Structure 1
């Protein structure tokens, strides 16, 4: 029985790719050696779905948050909806990080 009463039971195999499920199961088996009982028929995993479409973080044009060097990308940043747009935000942030890295290297030379 789930300890989180508001949880909706479901099968993570319907929402996660096979490779993720295989990796999670491998991790649980390995973790069972450190914490016996983790790998059992009674172990429940929570798959959290997070949607922040209506929330938008304060970001600059390089997708940096108000916390220096902390970038927010993907759907969680509140600036995209969908895989293509979310992946594009990663490219925007990566370009900004690379630009800053190049400036740092130039200053050291």
Structure 2
């Protein structure tokens, strides 16, 4: 789920691939960043949304305030087991986007990501 959260939050601005734990499974989930100059960095224990945002920003991927806000809602909703609470979270996200019609016109990608949850 974390890979999807990062990929969606960056709106395609980051290349995100699922892989093994880099021999550091006891400190997972781990991510590997490429700096664009061929250098890589392994970041250990990316365990919450705040850390995922930090990784995306460190990778110099641009993330709008709206994408970050909706990303947090999706991150939380994906981890809720209660369907009613998940639906409430999704409704909150749609409301933040200005409702269905406005979101469909101005933020169709974010809206579709919410609806696909």
After TM superposition, the score normalised by the length of structure 1 is 0.26
More strand by percentage: 2
Larger radius of gyration: 1
Q: Which has the higher contact order (CA 8 A, sep 6+)?
A: 2
More helix by percentage: 2
After TM superposition, the score normalised by the length of structure 2 is 0.25
